[in-house]
Amino acid sequence: MVKNNIEIDVKVKCLEEGVTQAQLAELVGTSAPYVSRLINKKEGIINKVFVDMLDKLGYDIQLVYVKKKGA
């Protein structure tokens, strides 16, 4: 289960950096509709485009593994 809200994360980071989602899509060489679909998916998804988008916004991604309770 992905606990991050990718849509909010990307939108906030775009606002912080003064970049629209369309501009971000252009920076990573994809279309604005694809970026929108990627960040609006109900299931969390991290792929190369997502990593490239956060890189262009000036962010690294850190994965944290948390043991499930009762496992």
Three-class DSSP labels, the chain: CCCCCHHHHHHHHHHHHCCCHHHHHHHCCCCHHHHHHHHHCCCCCCCHHHHHHHHHCCCCCCCCCCCCCCC
Give the pLDDT of residue 28.
92
Interval 1-25 mean pLDDT: 82
- CA-angle at 41, arms to 35 and 45, nearest 5°: 80
What mean pLDDT value characterizes the chain? Answer: 83
Decide if 39 contacts 2 (C-beta within 8 A): no
Interval 55-59 mean pLDDT: 91
70 has a pLDDT exceeding 90: no
Q: How confident is the model at residue 35 (pLDDT cuts 50, 70, 90)?
A: confident
Interval 40-64 mean pLDDT: 82
34 has a pLDDT exceeding 60: yes
